[in-house]
Amino acid sequence: MKSTGSFNWSRYDNPQVDALHLDNRFNQDFDARADAYAEIQEILAEEVPLIPMIVTGRSAVVAPGLEGFAFTPDVMTRYNLLEWK
């Protein structure tokens, strides 16, 4: 959750979280990236900027022979990852 994110419905704004995200989003050092995201999670757990009140179900119909479909934690479907076998 970053302050400029399109799914930041609560308008949460924390420069420290933004910096950790920006500095580590594409960090090739797995341990450093994991540490940064653990710190982000700790901050979010303490500040609790958003409490989901409802989780909606999702369903999908996929044609036989179409591979690569998967539900993701966010609501965005990655159609660009689908391939015909």
Entry pTM: 0.61
Please report, in tens digits, the pLDDT of each residue of the chain (85 residues total). Answer: 678 888 788 899 999 999 999 999 999 999 999 999 999 999 999 999 888 777 677 778 788 998 888 887 777 778 888 888 8
Tokens 């995200």 locate to 21
**What integer pLDDT is reported at residue 47 of this predicted model?**
94
- The secondary structure of residue 6, as a DSSP letter, is T
β partners of residue 66:
84
3-state helix, strand, coil split of the chain in percent (to 5) is 35, 5, 60
β partners of residue 5:
none
Separation of alpha carbons 85 and 57, rounded Å: 28
Separation of alpha carbons 76 and 20, rounded Å: 23
Separation of alpha carbons 35 and 32, rounded Å: 5
